[in-house]
Structure 1
């Protein structure tokens, strides 16, 4: 049985991911929200990962208030830029894989055709800059990672941006 730790379990993506994966009897899904995993506390991140001992960590947790990040760049940077590196470090110590959710905001949006993972990044705001910093932190720390860049996320019966 594989143990999967999902961060940001109370958010749109984390909650939906748990709903999709939970029926699989080969997976043990452990979801944590802000109440158990405060991404502004590096030692707390390490402790939670060490305690749970996951095989895979799916980092759905993020500072997602794009416009507000302009007035709170330090907080956005801590959560989106620094914390993913701490998660990568903690998962690497266990030999686990980190799946880190990022965003298309790492691009400037000026390209006339769809972006690919090989296109140069050029974020134009604090949110995109913080997410790019998180990607770089993950890449620099852990060779065993996957970075998924999303745009609008939708799903069945959710809240916020999800279709109902």
Structure 2
């Protein structure tokens, strides 16, 4: 049975994957989050990866507090850049497949049309810079990685665009 390691399992996307996993009993899903798989500690990443020995890694974990990342640059970089570099190296060495979730924040948002994967990134925030650095390290350390750039993710779990807008509107009234 193939083992699928999902990081960031308590986040919005990870929570959705937990729900989907119920329909795929042919896989052994291992769901981890910051408490048991802290991505700001490379030695713990290596130890956990070697203990689990996954066939597939889906990295949903990220430092997603965009505004807070402007002050908390070291932690944002450790999670969004250095951790994925480590995961990519481990996957490359072990033969595991890697799916890394990134963001449209690697672009500056000024394009009048939808971005394509080969458009030139131009991040305007620490969050975007760290996510782009993570993408670059991911592909450098494991060129066969799959990187998915997404914008707002919608689900019943976590914060999303609709919930954020409703919260902001209620705070202004």
User: Does the alignment reach a TM-score above 0.5?
Assistant: yes
CA distance in 2, matches of 1:94, 1:136: 20
Query: Any gaps of 5 or more consecutive residues in structure 1?
Result: none
CA distance in 1, matches of 2:161, 2:69: 22
1:28 aligns with 2:31: no
Task: Tell me which residue corresponds to 1:116.
Answer: 116
Kindly report the root-mean-square deviation, in angstroms, between the aligned alpha carbons of the 2 structures. 1.4
CA distance in 1, matches of 2:158, 2:108: 28
The alignment partner of 1:64 has SS state of coil
Task: Tell me which residue corresponds to 2:153.
Answer: 153
Query: Any gaps of 5 or more consecutive residues in structure 2?
Result: 164-173
Change (3 A) 1:162 1:2: farther
Task: Quote how far apart the aligned CAs of 1:159 are.
Answer: 2.9
Aligned length: 163
TM-score by length of 1: 0.95
CA distance in 2, matches of 1:114, 1:47: 40
After superposition, residues 124-135 of structure 1 pair within 5 angstroms as: 124-135=124-135
CA distance in 1, matches of 2:22, 2:6: 11
Greater shift, 18-27 or 80-89, is seen at: 18-27
TM-score by length of 2: 0.90
The structure that has the greater radius of gyration is 2
Task: Quote how far apart the aligned CAs of 1:18 are.
Answer: 1.6
1:2 aligns with 2:7: no
Task: Quote how far apart the aligned CAs of 1:73 are.
Answer: 1.2
The alignment partner of 1:128 has SS state of helix
CA distance in 1, matches of 2:162, 2:53: 34
Task: Quote how far apart the aligned CAs of 1:158 are.
Answer: 2.0
Task: Quote how far apart the aligned CAs of 1:52 are.
Answer: 0.7
Task: Tell me which residue corresponds to 1:14.
Answer: 14
Task: Quote how far apart the aligned CAs of 1:23 are.
Answer: 2.1
The alignment partner of 1:120 has SS state of coil
Task: Tell me which residue corresponds to 2:81.
Answer: 81
Task: Tell me which residue corresponds to 2:168.
Answer: none
Task: Quote how far apart the aligned CAs of 1:160 are.
Answer: 1.8
